[in-house]
Amino acid sequence: MAKPMTKSQIADHLAKKTGITKKTAVQILDELAALAYKEAKNTFTIPGIGKLVLVNRKARIGRNPQTGEQIKIPAKKVVKFRVSKVCKDAILGKK
pLDDT given at position 2: 82
- Indicate the fold that domain 43-95 takes in CATH: HU Protein; Chain A (4.10.520)
CATH 4.10.520.10 region(s) of the chain?
Answer: 43-95
User: Counting runs of H as helices and runs of E as strands, what totals does the chain give?
Assistant: 3, 5
Cβ proximity of 22 and 10 under 8 Å: no
Please count the other Cβ atoms lying within 10 Å of the Cβ belonging to residue 71: 10
For every residue of 52-65, DSSP letters joined together read EEEEEEPPEEEE-T
Grouped pLDDT means (10 residues each) for the chain, 95 residues: 90 95 95 93 93 94 92 95 94 84
pLDDT given at position 34: 95
Cβ proximity of 77 and 71 under 8 Å: no
Do the strands 50-57 and 44-46 form a parallel or antiparallel pair, or are they unpaired?
antiparallel
pTM assigned to the model: 0.76
Question: What is the rounded distance in angstroms from the CA atom of residue 64 to the CA atom of residue 50?
Answer: 34
